């Protein structure tokens, strides 16, 4: 099939490259000409395992094309995916400007029958809005269908998630377009759920809100474990073996970040409000998350007191491992607070430092973990990159001024750290 993807970011690029890899011809479109230039040369603008290889291979096989021209995409696509950003506006509403622009451009350029699949995470009712904008801007009468096709991939394992999804969700009110889209996904051999557009749009927000709720729930359980002296890892083991509960997403830490959970939880609260419903649980999930980031600083102070003038090492900046994405990353808030309170911060991350330098230029960025920890009075682990799991602890201890480790992701064993002479605290253990 000929596919056009409008918006070649994390979702659009992974979707485009993977569909090309499945044998389709894909035109990835973006307004960012620097990005498109890089991609045409076979270089990918984001850090995402396996993506570089797939992009290069499919460019060579003439199945993957990049362009800044939306008319080229619309002209060539039998199915057109919308995969542009839907960021949070300051009041929590979803900023739909990018989707609106794309819908108008599709309408203006459409001259053959197509299916438009919305992959961006969008408020309930967007399918109708996109249909209306396309119709209002058509230059000639053309048959088209708008379906919802929310994306569930996770950054850091996006290619794997695309190729081996738990399910594909399609929202279709036409009775035919959903089945055409389903054909495209059949090679993935996963359950394909075809429902109505509103339900598909709700499935995406409900899934993210539920996962965010699990994270805030276990973070609060961890905070209680800290107070009563229990070990949250054992608590999670005991809970997770119950099939009704399941251990996934029960990993306490510094709270959720990234481009999805923070904005999607705010969005579903706002959507509910617009329909006169007060979504109390998710409001609490957001509040818990915003406080959880700073638990690591309280723990640090427990060991070293006032942090003014102290050197604090930070390991991990990206919002999760295996990505360079720092959108809504807990590290940003933690580093900001440390600096505000007078600490001298030295940070290291394997992939995300260049991005953070633009937001917080005036801290020390180091080229490896040990350099960041040199002369530090305390170390906070914020992101659980694999390289932090395999640390030479005696080397670490020898370079630090004070052997204080606050493990914001519970990657070390408390008993081992204590026996090695560290003053150590995890989250809830
Ligand atoms: N990142 C994730 O892990 C993830 C997972 C599931 C769903 N989503 C959802 O998918 C959508 C896209 O997310 P993302 O992380 O890929 O965003 P992104 O910011 O990485 O990419 C969006 C791209 O769209 C481009 N764009 C904006 N306006 C355009 C236009 N008029 N024409 C062409 N291109 C345009 C931007 O230049 C950018 O490259 C969002 O709604 C997001 O919530 C994201």
Is 42's pLDDT higher than 90? Answer: no
**Mean pLDDT calculated for residue range 230-236:** 97
> Residue 404: which residues within 8 A CB-CB, separation 6 or more?
300, 303, 304, 377, 378, 379, 422, 423, 424
Place of tokens 């699949």: 117
What's the distance, Cα to Cα, between the start and end of the chain in Å? Answer: 52
d(CA 393, CA 271): 48
What would the two tokens of residue 220 be?
Answer: 């609060």
Number of alpha helices (DSSP H) and beta strands (DSSP E) in the chain: 19, 14
Atom of ligand 1 nearest to the CA of 260: 43
CA angle 268, 145, 17 (to 5 degrees): 75
Classified by CATH at the fold level, domain 204-291 comes out as 1.10.1040
- Mean pLDDT for the stretch of residues 314-324: 96
Query: Distance between CA 259 and CA 210 in Å, rounded?
Result: 16
Whether 146 contacts 113, CB under 8 Å: no
CA dist 193 and 182 (Å) reads 9
Cα separation, 143 vs 398, whole angstroms:
70
Residues of the chain with CATH 1.10.1040.10: 204-291
Contact at 8 Å (CB) between 186 and 76?
no
Residue-wise pLDDT for 368-393, tens only, equals 999 999 999 999 999 999 999 999 99
At 313 the pLDDT is: 98
Pocket of ligand 1 (CB under 6 A): 6-12, 29-32, 35, 70, 83-86, 98, 101-102, 120-121, 151, 153, 155, 259-260
Q: Specify whether 260 is catalytic.
A: yes
- CB proximity list for 185: less than 8 A, separation 6 or greater: 168, 192
Token code pair at residue 347: 């940070």
Kindly give the distance from the C-alpha atom of residue 83 to the centroid of ligand 1, in angstroms, as a whole number.
Answer: 5
192 in Cβ contact with 168 (< 8 Å):
yes
User: pTM higher than 0.85, yes or no?
Assistant: yes
Cα separation, 53 vs 252, in Å, equals 34
> Is a pLDDT exceeding 90 seen at residue 222?
yes
Question: Are β-strands 404-407 and 378-381 bridged in parallel, bridged antiparallel, or unpaired?
Answer: parallel
pLDDT tens digits, one per residue of 237-277: 999 999 999 999 999 999 999 999 999 999 999 999 999 99
Which residue from 296, 285, 302, 262 is spatially nearest to 383, judged by alpha carbons?
296
User: Predicted confidence band at 106 (pLDDT cuts at 50, 70, 90)?
Assistant: very high
Element (H, E) at 348: strand 344-348
Q: What are residue 113's phi and psi, to 5 degrees?
A: -65, 130
From the candidates 18, 28, 225, 260, which is the catalytic residue?
A: 260
Q: Which atom number of ligand 1 is nearest to the Cα of residue 264?
A: 43
Q: How far is the CA of 182 from the centre of ligand 1 (A)?
A: 22
What is the best residue among 5, 6, 8, 10 to mutate for testing ligand 1's pocket, by most ligand atoms within 8 Å of CB? 10
Domain 293-425 CATH assignment equals 3.40.50.720:
yes
- What per-residue confidence (pLDDT) applies to 62? 97
Measured from the CA of 86, which atom of ligand 1 is nearest?
41
Mean pLDDT, the chain, rounded, equals 97
Residue 92 pLDDT greater than 90, yes or no: no
Instruction: Tell the residue nearest (CA) to atom 33 of ligand 1.
Output: 30
Share of the chain above pLDDT 90, in %: 99
Which pair of tokens denotes residue 209?
Answer: 């809100």
Cα–ligand 1 centroid distance for 11 (angstroms): 6
Average pLDDT (417-422) is: 98
Mean pLDDT score, 50-79: 97
CA of residue 420 to ligand 1 center, whole Å: 45
Task: Assign domain 2-195 to a CATH class.
Answer: alpha beta
The SS3 call for residue 314 is strand
pLDDT at position 111, please?
95
Residues of the chain with CATH 3.40.50.720: 2-195, 293-425
Which DSSP string do the residues of 243-279 spell out, in sequence order? TTT-STT---SS---SSSHHHHHHHHHHHHHHTT---
Distance from the Cα of residue 225 to its chain's centroid:
28
Confidence at residue 29, expressed as pLDDT on a 0 to 100 scale? 98
Centre of ligand 1 to C-alpha 70, Å, is 15
Enumerate residues 6+ apart whose C-beta is below 8 A from 299: 406, 425
């Amino acid at each position: 099939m000929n596919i056009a993807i409008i918006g070649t970011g994390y979702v659009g690029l992974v979707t485009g490259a993977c569909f090309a890899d499945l044998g389709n011809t894909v035109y990835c479109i973006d307004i960012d000409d620097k990005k498109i230039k890089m991609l045409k040369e076979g270089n990918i603008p984001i850090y995402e395992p396996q993506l570089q290889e797939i992009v290069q291979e499919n460019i060579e096989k003439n199945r993957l094309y990049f362009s800044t021209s939306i008319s080229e995409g619309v002209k060539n696509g039998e199915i057109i995916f919308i995969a542009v950003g839907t960021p949070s506006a300051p009041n929590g509403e979803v900023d739909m400007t990018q989707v609106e622009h794309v819908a108008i451009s599709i309408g203006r350029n459409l001259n053959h029958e197509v299916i438009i699949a919305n992959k961006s995470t969008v408020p309930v009712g967007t399918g109708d809005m996109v249909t209306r904008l396309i119709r209002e801007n058509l230059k000639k009468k053309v048959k088209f269908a708008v379906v919802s096709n929310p994306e569930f991939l996770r950054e850091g394992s996006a290619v794997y998630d695309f190729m081996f999804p738990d399910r594909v969700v399609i929202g279709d009110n036409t009775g035919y377009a959903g089945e055409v889209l389903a054909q495209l996904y059949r090679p993935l051999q996963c359950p394909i759920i075809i429902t109505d557009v509103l339900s598909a749009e709700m499935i995406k927000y409900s899934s993210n809100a539920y996962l965010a709720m699990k994270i805030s729930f276990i973070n609060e359980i961890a905070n209680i474990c800290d107070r009563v002296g229990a070990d949250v890892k054992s608590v999670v083991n005991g809970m997770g073996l119950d099939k009704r509960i399941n251990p996934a997403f029960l990993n306490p830490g510094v709270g959720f970040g990234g481009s999805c959970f923070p904005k999607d939880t705010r969005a579903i609260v706002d959507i509910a409000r617009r329909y006169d419903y007060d979504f109390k649980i998710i409001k609490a999930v957001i509040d818990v998350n915003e406080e959880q980031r700073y638990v690591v600083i309280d723990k640090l102070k427990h060991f070293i007191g006032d942090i003014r003038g102290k050197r604090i090492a930070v390991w991990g900046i990206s919002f999760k491992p295996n990505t360079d994405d720092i959108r809504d990353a807990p590290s940003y808030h933690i580093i900001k607070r440390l600096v505000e309170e007078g600490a001298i911060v030295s940070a290291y991350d394997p992939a995300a430092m260049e991005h953070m330098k633009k937001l917080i230029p005036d801290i020390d960025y180091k080229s490896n973990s040990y350099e960041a920890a040199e002369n530090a009075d305390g170390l906070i682990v914020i992101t659980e990159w694999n390289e932090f799991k395999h640390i030479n602890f005696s080397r670490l201890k020898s370079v630090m001024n004070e052997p204080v480790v606050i493990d914001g992701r519970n990657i070390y064993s408390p008993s081992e750290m204590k026996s090695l002479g560290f003053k150590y605290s995890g989250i809830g253990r």
